[in-house]
Amino acid sequence: MTETPALRLQGVVKRFGALTAVDHLDLEVPEGVCLGLLGPNGAGKSTTMKMLTGQAIADEGTIEVLGFPVPAKSKQARGLMGVVPQADNLDEELTCAENLLIWATLQPIARKQRPQAVADALALAALTDRAHSKVGTLSGGMKRRLLIARGLVHNPRVVLLDEPTVGLDPQVRADIWVIIDRLRNEGVTVLMSTHYIEEAERLADDIAIMSHGRIIARGAPQQLLDTHVGTHALEFYGPPERLTEVEAIAEGMPTRRTGPSVSILRAESIPEAMHERLGAGTKRVANLEDVFVLLTGEVLE
Amino acid sequence: MIDVHAYAGILTREAIMFRRLWVSTTFASIVEPTIYLLAFGLGLGALISNINGYSYIEFVGTGSVATAVLFSSVFTGMFTTYVRRVYQKTYDGLLSTPVDVSEIMTAEGLWIAAKAGVYGCAPLLVAMCFGLPPSWGMLAVPFIGFLTGLGFGFFGQWLSGLVPSIDSFNYVTSALITPLFLVAGTFFPLTQLPQWAQTIAQINPLYHCVELVRHAVFGWEGWADVWNVAVLIMFVIIARYLSIRRLRKRLIG
């Protein structure tokens, strides 16, 4: 028996005039998996998120959330989904508790259970002592935590996080990661778009690399490394002529040029003779950025 | 089927927002029409003995109800909806929960209408202080204000979805809203206007609101009032349809 995936997109296309934002996208996310959707700005990540909530309508293809076809049954799907948008759209004049209460009322939560749901969400965001503070008085990190708690107030089965830590300082980012980790441990399905390599590597069970509206690679972080770039890279710095020379010597090996450096990927399999011709380079551990740049030719933050 | 959660959620939000902001909201919606009433009623009223058998304060006191209803509904529909959509991204958030565009706009329209029904009574109370005799029919005024406010609330929402920028509301206010409230029999009888203007007034929902309020206060006029109510109901239906259609286009990509 095939288990219904939490999220399923098949042949999804979304165009905005002449621009194809999402181009024949096929994506499945099984229940309980945290999938990182990794890609640069404009890759189609946010549009994909919006199509999953029915806030953008696909021109072609089919979308299902927990078995509900979207947009036809998007209301039912949204009742089981928590959405954390990229932009802060909290009500600044209201308190943290009031913001959460409104969301609890919008979701299918029984009236008697709403105060507890609000209290739980405040605790999750570590904002219990700021329950009655106006949102306008909170720091950026607190607002972000509240925004996430708002999306989780009804204990959703699926959570969509659109760039959850964009623009935040490292400490706040770490706080947010703790919340996302907790969701993973509780078996919640998470689809998280990000353009931070470290975030995807640290949090996602599975990573889908998105470029120009398509998924170009998919797998667990280690699996992506093994498949595309191996364990190590050999990095060379120098003027453009030197980098060109290195690329010529390493012909046949996967290489990646970024600014003043060129990296030869799969360094562990460079033949000894090629090593001698290349000269001294800096050996480093391969990372997902290598995978991304190799596959897309684009650079991530 | 009506989704109670959706309406309850939107109305809860409105109620909580109102609890925080009621002073500024109420001040703007009540004070301006009251100033019009005092300026015209007391100032111009000293020069005019009566209009169509009413003292001028009676005439303008009942007419100002429509002005209060219009101001409190159409401007809220226009500006609040625009700001929530474009600047605050409130609707993007709401639409990620189990509510749809029609529920948001309808619930917000109902809230606007409820406020308009209450605010519309303020000029009437002021006019009573200056000699407007109380009557049982006045109890119908909040309902007339509600119905008219519902239509103009939806109308304002629709306008908010049409304009390319918030500055465009200047054109809307000058070219549409101001003529609407001047050609409604608020401050002077329509019989003073050319025939073409009187004809246009017949399709002005505010005129029908003014007529209903005057008849509620001074005596109902049977089928004429049934017609006035029917026009307002048609206005509500058309404005709601336009609002939802336009904002769905704006909000759903």
**Look-up: residue for tokens 């010529």?**
A248
Of B17, B96, B97, the CB nearest to A91: B17
Q: What is the pTM (predicted TM-score) of this model?
A: 0.90
Chain A CB contacts of B88 under 8 Å are 89, 91
Digit-coded pLDDT (tens) for A234-246: 899 988 888 898 8
Evaluate whether A248 touches A160 at the Cβ level (below 8 Å).
Answer: no
| Confidence bin at A125 (pLDDT 50/70/90) | very high
Q: In sequence order, what DSSP letters do the residues of A67-122 get, joined into one string?
A: TEEETTTHHHHHHTEEEE-SS----TTSBHHHHHHHHHHHTT--GGGHHHHHHHHH
Q: In sequence order, what DSSP letters do the residues of B59-80 get, joined into one string?
A: HHHHHHHHHHHHHHHHHIIIII
CA–CA separation, B104 vs B5, rounded Å? Answer: 11
Digit-coded pLDDT (tens) for B49-98: 788 888 888 898 899 999 999 999 999 999 999 999 999 999 999 999 99
Digit-coded pLDDT (tens) for B170-215: 999 999 999 988 899 988 888 888 899 889 889 999 999 999 999 9
Looking at the complex, report in whole angstroms how far the Cα of residue A121 sits from the nearest Cα belonging to chain B: 16
Looking at the complex, report in whole angstroms how far the Cα of residue B107 sits from the nearest Cα belonging to chain A: 12
Closest by alpha carbon to A98, among A61, A130, A124, A60? A130
Question: Counting one residue from A and one from B, how many pairs have CB atoms under 8 Å apart?
Answer: 82
Chain B CB contacts of A56 under 8 Å are 252-253
Pairing of strands A68-70, A60-65: antiparallel
What crossing angle do the helices spanning B4-38 and B101-119 adopt, rounded to 10°?
Answer: 30
pLDDT at A1 (0 to 100): 47
CA–CA separation, B54 vs B58, rounded Å? Answer: 6
pLDDT at A299 (0 to 100): 63
How long a stretch of residues is chain B? Answer: 253
pLDDT at A271 (0 to 100): 85
Looking at the complex, report in whole angstroms how far the Cα of residue A135 sits from the nearest Cα belonging to chain B: 13
Residue A36 has pLDDT above 80, yes or no: yes
pLDDT at A281 (0 to 100): 85
For chain A, give the longest Cα–Cα distance: 74
Q: What percentage of chain B reaches a pLDDT higher than 70?
A: 100
Confirm or reject contact between B18 and chain A (CB < 8 A): no
Query: Quick one: DSSP state of residue B27?
Result: H
